[in-house]
Chains A and B, each alone.
Chain A
Amino acid sequence: MIAQIQDVPLVRKKSLPAAGFVGVSKIYRDGLFRRRGVEALRDVSLRIELGEVFGLLGPNRAGKTTLVKLLLSLCQPTGGEVFRLGRPLSDRSTLAQVGYVHENHAFPRYLSAAALLEYYGALTLLPYEVVRARVPQLLERVGLADRSREPIARFSKGMLQRLGIAQALLNEPRLLVLDEPTEGLDLNGRRLLREVVREVRERGGSVLLVSHVLTEIEHLCDRVGVLVNGRLVHAGPLAELTHDDASSPRSLEKTLKDLYAKTTV
């Protein structure tokens, strides 16, 4: 199954983006008869290349999670087009090459960590033998090997986040989407996350990292996009935000503050 998908010529071409947004807008319908519209994204065009780590920044309610949801087919764009691994969103088979770490996991509490990974592996349509071989490796990788048979109900938030990372890596993704992944992670957990991001990049995969933790963005990302009020106000190399026109270093936090203020006004 995976082999078939990877053989699709469109995906194999290096020139095709891991994720592409072309003039994307999203309006959530709300209220009685869904007549009231809340605009979450407006005319967003963005390209995330294979092999790059792309950071998505922006204040609360900027539209970051909506952008992620669109990329993952959790919702549909109101206008424009979205591509995932070179294919339109309607092609769900590309999801077999996507890993997703959600900011607030609610895994079934009655499962053990190993059972959860086996279950999610089956839903990823991976052969059972492959899943069975990967589960102990992944649990070891995220530091949960000694708790693999314990019910998830006993896990702390950090452990759940590690489990979330493990389930996202089950299919060795070519596109890893991380939505606020450092929530609840301790220092070791954050180090693990950095290693995972680097590994995916080294394999030629892409990572879309949504985070408010600027140090993570600075450490990991090749390029960043900044969303404010549903508009993409910046997309480019990280250096453009951490250096001024004269190439002198400046704080990312200060640059973002200025950018948010300027765009909100």
Chain B
Amino acid sequence: MNPLTTLPAIRWLVRDTFRQSRSAGVFWLMLAVSLACVALCLTVRIVADDSRAPGHLELAFGVVRIPLDQGTTIAVRTLEVHLAAWIADGFGLLLALLWTAGFLPSFLEASTASVLLVKPIPRWSLLLGKCLGVLAFVAVQDGLFVGGTWLALGLRTGVWDATYLLCLPLLLVHFAVFFSFSAMLAVATRSTVACVFGSILFWLMCWAMNFGRHAFLLVPELQTAAEGLGHSVEFGYWLLPKPLDFHLLLLNTLQDDHVVSRVIDTHALAERGAWQPVASLLASCVCALVLLALAAYDFVTAEY
């Protein structure tokens, strides 16, 4: 069968995922979170303390104040770092994983899937269409969050920082990597509960592995205490997706050196030749592709 003939069907699967998200309320929930953040950004204003001091940037009607010592651009960047690296890449990513965890299991349930699987469309393209649907849905929400907050901050401060928009693909790839594990669990178990807990546990495990590896390289005492573990740590680091590296990559993209203290000092890692952001990103993507391929194989050979 010509794979091109399945394209319209895949488009319908993507469309169906949006319908499912609206019906389950996930679309509106995520939209509400994005809109709340946009509304928060609309409360930003620049306040001049007195004629001599540079003043400060005020958020949420004065609840948060960021001094403008280093200029307005840096102050806005500080806000963007918090929005992208902490709210979207931490809280938002976990919420997206939780809220989309049920999409595939309900689609793969035997009584639903057995009618779909009798359609001539190849099984792998059913899974692909549904996964693309979830990614498209998250991309839209991601775009609303990043685009909305960027617009709001730009309108309120006059700082139109295009670098912030680079967070959009990074956040989406980060989600895609961990959703691939959720997809594999969905095919193997057809259980929403397994997908919810499994993907969160997997994310935590990967985060711990990622943090452990960097800490191992940066703290000499750890190397002495766990001598001989170097190769295992390195193997685990390269094998698993790297959520902390995504986070650090986001911070690097936003060039946040001026604004926040980091969990891990990437400069120190780079000096040891252990900070390879492109290789790290590619390795995470390869891991996601392997997980998706396993899910597809499992789905193609599954008995209903």
Instruction: State the A residues within 8 Å of B (CB).
Output: 1, 28, 69, 72-76, 92-96, 98, 100, 102, 104-111, 115, 118-120, 122-125, 128, 164, 167
Contacts and interface: CB of A to CB of B under 8 A. Distances in A.
Contacts of B119: 95, 120, 123-125
Interface residues of B, number: 30
Contacts of B109: 106
Given A74-B118, A76-B303, A98-B118, A106 B19 contact: no
B121 A110 contact: no
B184 to A, nearest CB: 19
A124 B115 contact: no
A120 B120 CA distance: 11
A109 B112 CA distance: 11
B1 interface: yes
Q: Which 9 A-B pairs have CB atoms at the shortest separation, nearest pair first?
A: A110-B23, A106-B111, A75-B303, A122-B12, A95-B120, A123-B119, A96-B120, A74-B304, A100-B118
Interface string B89-132: 00000000000000000000101101111111110001000000
B115 A167 contact: yes
B288 to A, nearest CB: 26
Interface string B271-304: 0000000000000000000000000000000011
B8 interface: yes
Contacts of B16: 108, 111, 119
Contacts of A128: 8
A123 B121 contact: yes
Given A1-B5, A95-B120, A109 B23 contact: yes
Contact of B6 (A104, A106, A120, A125): A125
B111 A93 contact: no
B270 interface: no
Given A92-B122, A93-B1, A119 B115 contact: no
Interface of B: 1, 5-6, 8-9, 11-13, 15-16, 19-20, 22-24, 109, 111-112, 114-122, 126, 303-304
Contacts of B120: 92-96, 124-125
Nearest to A124: B119
A128 B7 CA distance: 12
A123 B129 CA distance: 11
Given A1-B5, A110-B22, A123 B116 contact: yes
A31 to B, nearest CB: 15
Chain B residues touching A, majority SS: helix
A118 to B, nearest CB: 8
A124 B304 CA distance: 19
Contacts of A125: 5-6, 8-9, 119-121
Contacts of B15: 119
Contact of A123 (B12, B19, B111, B303): B12
B1 A108 contact: no
A102 B8 CA distance: 25
Nearest to B24: A110
A123 B11 CA distance: 10
B118 A95 contact: yes
Most buried by B among A104, A105, A125, A128: A125
Contacts of B20: 108, 110
29 contacts: A73-B117, A73-B118, A74-B117, A74-B118, A75-B304, A76-B303, A92-B120, A94-B120, A102-B114, A105-B115, A106-B112, A107-B115, A108-B16, A108-B20, A110-B19, A110-B22, A110-B24, A111-B16, A111-B19, A119-B12, A122-B12, A123-B12, A123-B119, A124-B120, A125-B5, A125-B9, A125-B119, A128-B8, A167-B115
Contacts of A110: 19-20, 22-24
Contacts of B5: 1, 125
A139 B5 CA distance: 26
Contacts of B23: 109-110
Given A92-B120, A110-B22, A104 B111 contact: yes
B99 to A, nearest CB: 16
Contacts of A123: 9, 12-13, 116, 119, 121, 126
A8 B24 CA distance: 44
Contacts of A167: 115
B112 A107 contact: yes
Nearest to B110: A106
Contacts of A105: 111, 115
A122 B303 contact: no
B5 to A, nearest CB: 6
Contact of B118 (A72, A108, A119): A72
